[in-house]
Amino acid sequence: MYRYVGDISKIAHNIVLNYLDSFDVAIDATLGNGHDTDFLVNHFGVVYSFDIQKIACQNYSNKNISNVNVINDSHENFKLYIDKPVDLIMYNLGFLPGANKDITTNHLSTIKSIKSGLEILNNGGFIAICVYPGHNEGKIESSCISDLIETLPKNEFGVMVHKFANRSSSAPYLVIIEKNHANMKE
Ligand SMILES: C[S@@+](CC[C@H](N)C(=O)[O-])C[C@H]1O[C@@H](n2cnc3c(N)ncnc32)[C@H](O)[C@@H]1O
C-alpha cells in the first residue's frame, strides 16, 4: 500500500544497507522464523542468531547455511559466544506471529541484552530494535527501552525512533542506535 511507510523490519534492513560501513559481523538477537537472519546471511560475513526456542534454532540450522551460528540461548548472553566487535545487532521483539504468545521477549533480558550489545558494538555499528508495544509485556518492554535510550550519552550514541504518527500509540516502531564513528579504526 505504501512504498516506505510500512514494515518496520524492512525499513531497518534498508537503513542498514544504506548507512552501515562495515558488514563483517552481525547478530540476530531474536531468530524466530529467520526472516531477519535470511537478510543478514546475505549481507554479512558471519552472523550469530539467538533464540530461546529450540524449534526455531533447529529449523534454521536445518537450512545448513555456512556463515550463520545458531545459538539456542537468551540474547543477554552474547558475550559467552562472541569475542569480537559486532557491526549490527537486530532485535524483532515480542512473540512469533501465529505461535505461542506466552513465549515473548521480556523487558529484563531485553535490557540486559541491549546493554551488553552496546558494549560489543563496533564504532560506527548499529543496533536496530523493532518494538511491539501492543501487548502487555511489550508495553513494559517499550517503556524500559525508552528509559534506556533516552539516557545514552549523545557523544557516544546517536539514537533515532521511527514511529507512525497517525496510528495508535501501541503501533510497532523502530529504534536505531548508531555508535559514534569517531573512534573508528582506519
Ligand atoms: C517476533 S519473534 C522474531 C521474529 C524473527 N526475527 C523473524 O524474522 O521471524 C521474537 C523471537 O524472540 C525469541 N525470544 C524471546 N525471548 C528471547 C531471548 N531472551 N533471547 C533470544 N530470543 C528470544 C522468541 O522465541 C521469538 O522466536
Sorted by where each begins, the domain ranges of the chain are: 8-183
User: How far does residue 122's CA lie from ligand 1's centre (Å)?
Assistant: 23
Confidence of residue 100 (pLDDT cuts 50, 70, 90): confident
Per-residue pLDDT, averaged over 144-159, amounts to 98
User: How far does residue 103's CA lie from ligand 1's centre (Å)?
Assistant: 8
In this structure, which CATH number among 3.40.50.410, 3.40.50.1370, 3.40.50.880, 3.40.50.150 belongs to the domain 8-183? Answer: 3.40.50.150
36 lines ligand 1 (CB under 6 A): yes
Confidence of residue 185 (pLDDT cuts 50, 70, 90): very low
Residue closest via CA to ligand 1's atom 18 equals: 74
125 lines ligand 1 (CB under 6 A): no
Residue type, 22: S
Q: Report percent pLDDT > 90 for the chain.
A: 92
In whole angstroms, how far apart are CA 139 and each of 21, 93, 173? Answer: 33, 11, 12
Quickly count: other Cβ atoms within 10 Å of residue 64's Cβ: 7
Atom of ligand 1 nearest to the CA of 106: 16
pLDDT for 64-97, tens place per residue?
999 999 999 999 999 999 999 999 999 999 998 8
In whole angstroms, how far apart are CA 176 and each of 63, 66, 101, 124? Answer: 29, 28, 25, 12
